[in-house]
Structure 1
Amino acid sequence: MGTAEAGVETPRTRRRRGRTTLMIAGAAVLGVVAGACAGFLVQADREPTALPPLSQPVLGQGKGEVEPLSAAQDRRVKTDGDLRKLLITRPKGAKDNAFAVDSDGWADLATYAARYKRPGNTFDNLVDNEFRRAAMTSWQVGEAYNVEVTLVQFRQESKAAASEWAENGVYWAEEEDDTRSWPIPGTGDGNGTAYVHDSPEEEAGYLPMYSAEAYAWRGDICLEIRVYDIKPISKAKIMDLAQRQVGKL
């Protein structure tokens, strides 16, 4: 018999199944049936086992009325009120800057969206995210140090939009080159981050502009802080603003 070529498997002759195989298989089936019948007969001769009761002990209900949370303890009372009161106050001697929305501190949907590079896209995204309202404060110290703080509140009837909006800010902040970041104390794991951009934005006819920013969320509110200066911005400055604002929420 010749040797098979390399890489080609030699075919094997198929073995026929004889009566012995069928008899063994049949015996196995009968064995299973007989075993099941024997088990049924043994079980039928036994006394029925009592099942545990389905009812559980009745727990006593406390008497009296539960005292409602105070306004200081109930966060919804705080956040459903005047959102502007939750903004940090600007320092003494600070003046208005170009970021101010108006004298009352509120920014409607169109006004807030207009502060982004693509207002139309931002407007649509805010509608999709169930934008409710935004409160803003801003100030300038000296000739070039500018701060802008915004609290954006969402209805959150269909999704956790506040966290998504904060994550959107985090995404773009981390896209910048030469950027350092730190978690904001008091925000929980991954719920708040501060950034310092060490390379300034440069444009012909203007002084180089450095920036820092922070994003956090709590409940249905997203916090945004942006700082600009012609000098490098320290970690201490952005972290101080972020921690104080988080503390107000």
Structure 2
Amino acid sequence: MSGEPHPITGDLFDSPVAPGTGWPGEPGTAATPVARDVDDVRRLAASADDVATLDARVSVCRACPRLVAWREEVAREGRRAAFKDQPYWGRPGPGFGDPDARALIVGLAPAANGTNRTGRMFTGDRSGDWIYAALHRTGFANQPTSEHAGDGLALTGVRIVPAVHCAPPANKPTPAERTTCGHWLDRDLQLAEPHLDAIMTLGAIGWDAVIAAARRVRWEVPRPKPRFGHGVEVELRSAYGPVRLLGCYHVSPHNTFTGRLTEDMLDAVLRRLRG
């Protein structure tokens, strides 16, 4: 390996990180098949037999040229001053958490200097500070912080996945990028449904992504389409039974700094997610 040392392990990495180089929590290997277009995503997602295989394939995806270019540009040249000396993951953010979870949390997309830097969902930015502290308060996480992929954090009973797995320019994936990445979410729902009780979405984009994926995998979804709102709850139905869909404002600084989302509001939805 060559490049810059990981700030915790001391291992050397280039940025973006190549599969199989030993990054903490790395799900893929040099042999993991790579999706290069939407048809590849559809095929590789559908044939993933378990969450570990799905996460590995997500982690090497190159299906959206604009997103690939942006995430890698940030990893090489667009770093914030505080992270100038750190290696960057620079790849799609795979799901994180309990593979047998009874609950899913679906967000928007990785942050350019958060997940795109650390390789773990909601890690290394202010949004992550909020969500993991809340998950710890409500009994889903073994610790209240998530700083890097080798810090010992573990989730029980919940898995976190995004609507889009790559950091997008201006935090705005295009409709085509959302559609392409939706096939990964389809498979997450299918793998989870035998034991899934509830899904919490962070924001309207996650809400819309879940409803679209649920329809593609032939779950029953109320019509007309339920509208997103904080605290809104509707019932979806998979082949295994009902799945509660809960809306929550996103844990973005825009919402948390302004008081639109408070700790009490977030904790209340998470307690309902637990059931």
| TM category, shorter | under 0.3
- Quick check: which has more Rg, 1 or 2? 1
Greater share of helix residues, 1 or 2?
2
Question: What TM-score results when the alignment is normalised by the length of structure 2?
Answer: 0.25
Indicate the structure with greater strand content: 1
Higher relative contact order (CA 8 A, sep 6+): 2
